[in-house]
Amino acid sequence: MTLAKDVDLMAYEAILFDLDGVLTATARVHSACWKKMFDEFLRANADETDTPFVPFDRGADYLTYVDGKPRMEGVQSFLESRGIHLPFGTHDDPPEMRTVCGLGNRKNELFRELLSVEGADVFEGSVTLARRLRQAEKKMAVVSSSKNCMAILEVAGLKDLFDYFLDGNEAQRLQLAGKPQPDTFLKAAEMLGVAPQRAVVVEDAISGVQAGRAGNFGLVIGVDRHGTPQDLLDNGADIVVGDLAEFL
C-alpha cells in the first residue's frame, strides 16, 4: 500500500480539495440536519400510509445515499432506497413543500441555522497542508457539491487560501453533473489552467474518489474519516490517509 511519505505533492501543479470532511469538519452538522429533516418527513409519511416509521440512519444511510452528492440528488437517492417517489419540484420550492427540492431546501434551512450558531470546525492537518502548498505557489481549488461552500469557508477563515471555487451553485449555473461524475473536478482543473494528469484530487467520500478516478487525475487521495479505508481504495483512491498532516 502506498504511504504518504512516498508521495511528492510538490510534483503536481494543482490540488483540488473537497470541502466537507476534507477541509472542514461539518459532516456532523450535515448528518444531524439530514436526520432531522428526513425523520420529520418519514414520521409524517408513516402516519399517512399506515406503515412503520424507520428513522434515517446517520451512519449507513448518510454514507450510502447522501455523502458527497449534490443535495437534491442525495434526497432523491435516499427516498428511492425506501421506495418513496416524490415530484422533483423546482429549486426554489419552499421548505414545507412535499417535493424532492422542498425537502432539500428544508435540510439547507436547518444547516444554515446550525452553522450560524456553531460555526465550522476545521481539520488542522488539512489547513496546515493547504498553507504549505500555498507557500509553494501551487494552484488550489475547492470543489464541493455544497451550496453553502462559500459561507462555510468564510466562517472557517479559509477563503484566501484558494484560487478558484466550484460549489453547488456554480455547478448548477454551468449545468455540470455532480460527483461521482468527474465534471466539476475537470472544470476546476480547466479554470486553473492545469491538465487533469498534473492535478491531485483530495476527497473523503466514495462518490468523490470515483469522480477523481473517472477524470483520470494524476493522483486521487482518499481521506478516511469513517474508518473504511478499503472502500475508498476500491472506488478509485490511489492512497488513503487518516489525516492530511501525514503529507507534512
**Residue 67 among the catalytic residues:** no
Cis peptide before 180 (omega within 30 of 0): yes
Considering only the C-alpha atoms of the chain, give the largest distance between any 2 of them, rounded to a whole number of Å. 61
Buried b (16+ CB within 10 A) or exposed e, 208-219: bbbbbbbbebbb
Start-to-end CA distance of the chain, whole Å, equals: 18
Joined grid coordinates for residue 114: 446550525
CB 175 within 8 A of CB 48: no
Which of 18, 93, 204, 224 is the catalytic position?
18
Helices (H), the chain: 27-49, 60-61, 71-81, 100-118, 124-135, 149-156, 168-174, 183-192, 206-214, 229-234
What's the DSSP call for residue 62? Answer: I
Least Cα distance to 195 among 219, 163, 218 occurs for 218
CB 219 within 8 A of CB 232: no
Residues paired with 16 in a beta bridge: 141, 201
**Residue 231 among the catalytic residues:** no
Which of 20, 93, 204, 238 is the catalytic position?
20
Q: Which of the residues are catalytic? A: 18, 20
